[in-house]
Amino acid sequence: MKYIRTPRPKRQKSSIPFRLNFLFFVAFFLFAMLIGQLAYLQITNGARFATEVNRTGTTVVTGNVPRGLVYDSKGRIMVNNKANAAITYTKNIATSTDQMYKTANRLQRYITVDASNLQPRDERDYFLGDKNNLKKVNAQLSKAQLKKKGNALYQLELKVAARLMPSLTARQKQAAAIYKVMNGATQLSTVYIKNNNVTSKEVAVVGEHLTSLPGVNLGTDWDRSYPNGKSITSVIGTVSSEKSGLPREELDSYLANGYARNDRVGTSYLEKQYEDALRGSKSQTTVEINDQDQIVSQVQKFAGQQGQNLNLTIDSSFQNQVQQIVKKYYSQTLATGDASLSDGAYAVVLNPNTGAVLAMSGISRNPDTGKQTDDALGVINRAFVMGSAVKPAMVLGALQQGVISRSNNTQSDEPIYLKGAPVKKSIYPAGTFGAMNAQLALQVSSNIYMMRLAMKEANASYVPKSVMTMKPDIFSILRGHFAQFGLGTKTGIDLPGEALGVTGADYNAGGQLAVGSALDLSYGNYDSYPLIEMAQYVSTIANGGYKMQPYVVQSISQTLSDGSEGPVVSTTQPKVQSKVLSSTEDINFVKQGMWQAVHGTNGWTTATSLSDLNPGVAVKTGTAQTFSHGQETINTSLVGFAPAKNPQIAIAIVIPDIGQAADKAFFNQKIAHDIISAYYKSHHIAKDKGYSAHQTNMP
């Protein structure tokens, strides 16, 4: 009997696909790797990474140093740093607004600050500095508003604060003013809470409570002081305050050169021109900060170096004398009633052999209010029509052109009659001189002589009371002569802001050559020049034809650690800009004419009031017709050098817009006389034996 095996039932296939199993395997593998990495971090290298997290960061903090000083030519301090007690604040990295709020309120109890400039925004900032006030403000904002970030949220908070904030008391305003300074400080920077008029009591009380005033400390600040007078301060310039900091228009440039926003910098003239030298080198302190943003150590790496000093060519004593002389005679001019429309008076003294400025003096006056201010800078940045003071350059130009020579220079002194124009003549009556030579023309200041020189240089076709024709380049010819001596060109003095004068038009409104104006130019009654150009021009004549560049800074020196003046690091060398084309003989010929302007015996000699100076001097006076406030006025000027033989000084003077009657008071000559006399006395210039006021030949 056969048995039949019952068939084994088929096994049901797994319902989990292979790919899912593979994913499970990959997930298990990655999880195992993560466990291994955590074990590596926590067990194997846990200590090392903990140290890495807790280690300190290092940064370098800089500190300000005093600016360099300014000395005169005799080593006297003209600009010093006056130390003041100060209350300072250094902002830590982790400092919160609430901490500053509390510190400001505590500090307010001990000091008084100026809160007059507090703005509504400043008061709201102070109000929000209190975390409780901030919490109340934020409770007024919607959830959507609170999600905003940074300044957008803060602007909303300020608006709410304006509604919720009560009026601040006087004490709260004081605290708000302190908070404003603290809040404006950058991290790890030091700012001044109070640096003016800090009393000894405030210093003592704050010092006793420093432990409860985090970031607050006692320090010193400085202001510029002028122990030898302020007559030259307009030339020295100004320095910004710690509050005003860097000038906005040059902010990026200063920041790129390592300045902080609240650094003091020179904002004008010498202080600005020599900023790189005067600023000094900031102190450097290495500060270590832990992971909690707290300072753990401070080590000074460099104590800083006070700014370098400027040693000027100006003698402060002589400078003050010149300023007083100018003020004295300008006051006399005002007292006569002849200067009611005048806007100032100016004088400058140079060493003609080097270009060194020995004194710069100026008074600026507002004709409407009568207010006067010291304005030595007007010597370089104001220009005036100078009149006959330019005539020596005109004669030398004519000698260069060959239209006259030293042996053949006599011309007719008959006035010039142009068609449809007033007669052009000199100050003396027509017919006083039938003929005129060059030196006599300088002595009596003949306008006619200079105009006839211009006519010769222009190949003029002249018939009295008819149309005159000239070469069209006559203006270029005349201005070219003047420019050789520095008239109409910048001198290059080491001060910013030097101005050029105004050059008159060559052609009239009808497009015709302005021949009458060309004649006016020949005797100084057309173009205008700054006084520094006049000084350079007369120096060029005085030294025999070398145009020297004027300068104010003689040298730059270091400051030693004890505050005394150290070694010289740079010295200004006299610079010859050019040599005029005139020969030595021609220059001496013109010098003789300027000597005769002082020592001549003719009744029309222009500067005899200077003839008592011994040693004798050589000058040329000037008068130009001007208008001020719709009235006819004059500019009175003078250039000269002394002693006439081997000159040590060259001077230039101008008093603009005085009454015509004042010309006969000779205020320009009186100023020159006293300046030269003061120089002779202060420098012990010996008198010439046998000197005579009527010595007609220059020694």
Which ranges in 382-511 belong to alpha helices (H)?
391-401, 438-444, 447-457, 474-484
Q: What is the mean pLDDT of residues 485-494?
A: 96
Q: Helix, strand, or coil here: 545?
A: coil
Whether 246 has a pLDDT exceeding 80, the answer reads no
The two three-digit tokens of residue 388, written as one number: 């006959």
List Cβ neighbours of 59 (8 Å cut-off, separation of 6 or more).
Answer: 188, 286, 287, 289
Mean residue pLDDT of the chain comes to 87
In a domain, 696, yes or no: no
Specify if 614 maps to a domain.
yes
Q: State in Å, rounded, how far the first CA of the chain is from the last one.
A: 171
Mean of pLDDT values over 653-667: 88
Q: Is the pLDDT of residue 15 over 80?
A: no
- Residues carrying an active site annotation: 388
Long-range contacts at 336-340 (CB < 8 A, ≥ 24 apart): 336/661, 336/662, 336/665, 337/659, 338/658, 338/659, 338/661, 338/662, 338/665, 339/655, 339/657, 339/658, 339/659, 339/662, 340/367, 340/659
The range of the structural domain enclosing residue 444 comes to 316-545+580-682
DSSP assigned state of 130: S
Length of the chain: 699
What's the rounded Cα separation, in Å, for the pair 341 and 19?
106
Position 520 confidence tier, pLDDT thresholds 50, 70, 90: very high
Residues 442, 444, 448, 452: is their CA dihedral positive or negative? negative
For the segment 26-40, the average pLDDT, to the nearest whole number, is: 71
**Rounded Cα–Cα distance for residues 454 and 515 (Å):** 10
Q: What is the pLDDT of residue 669?
A: 96
Q: What is the pLDDT of residue 39?
A: 66
How many domains does the chain contain in total? 1
CB atoms within 10 A of CB 564: 8
Q: How confident is the model at residue 595 (pLDDT cuts 50, 70, 90)?
A: very high
Which range among 29-33, 177-181, 624-628 shows the weakest confidence by mean pLDDT? Answer: 29-33
Separation between Cα atoms, residue 526 and residue 517, nearest integer Å: 7
CATH classification of the domain holding 408: 3.40.710.10
For residues 553-568, give the mean pLDDT.
84
Which band of pLDDT confidence, cut at 50, 70 and 90, is reported for residue 268? Answer: confident
pLDDT (0 to 100) of residue 220? 81
**What span, in angstroms and rounded, lies between the C-alpha atoms of 581 and 477?**
14
**DSSP code of 41?**
I
Instruction: Report which listed range, 60-64, 253-257, 405-409, 690-694, is most confident.
Output: 405-409
Q: Provide the pLDDT for residue 16.
A: 57
Kindly tell me if the per-residue pLDDT of 56 is higher than 60: no
> pLDDT tens, 398-457?
999 999 999 999 999 999 999 888 999 999 999 999 899 999 999 999 999 999 999 999
Task: Give the largest CA-CA distance in the chain.
Answer: 180
Q: Quick check: bond before 464 cis, omega within 30?
A: no
pLDDT at position 106: 95
Q: What is the pLDDT of residue 10?
A: 54
User: pLDDT tens across 338-352, in order?
Assistant: 899 999 999 999 999
Residue ranges in 435-554 assigned as alpha helix (H): 438-444, 447-457, 474-484, 515-522, 531-542
Output the pLDDT for position 52: 47
Q: What pairs with residue 635 in β-bridges?
A: 624
**Averaged pLDDT, 262-276:** 83
Report whether 366 contacts 502 (CB < 8 A): no
Distance, in Å, from the CA atom of 203 to the CA atom of 86, rounded to the nearest integer, reads: 8
pLDDT for 303 equals 55
- With contact defined as beta carbons under 8 Å apart, do 615 and 642 qualify? yes
pLDDT confidence of 1, banded at 50, 70, 90? very low
Q: Report whether pLDDT(486) > 80.
A: yes
pLDDT one-digit tens code per residue, 64-94:
677 889 999 999 999 998 888 889 888 887 7
* pLDDT-derived band at 506, boundaries 50, 70, 90: very high
Q: How far apart are CA 256 and CA 559, in angstroms?
A: 26
Residue 609: inside a domain: yes
Q: Could you list the beta-strand ranges (E) of 493-561.
A: 529-530, 546-548, 553-559
Structure confidence at residue 53 as a pLDDT band (50, 70, 90): very low
Residue 196 lies in a domain: no
Max mean pLDDT among 108-122, 185-199, 292-306 falls in 108-122
Highest mean pLDDT pick, 275-289, 386-400, 418-432, 493-507: 386-400
Predicted local confidence at residue 384, as pLDDT: 96
Query: What is the arithmetic mean of pLDDT over 547-565?
Result: 88
Does residue 495 lie in a domain region?
A: yes
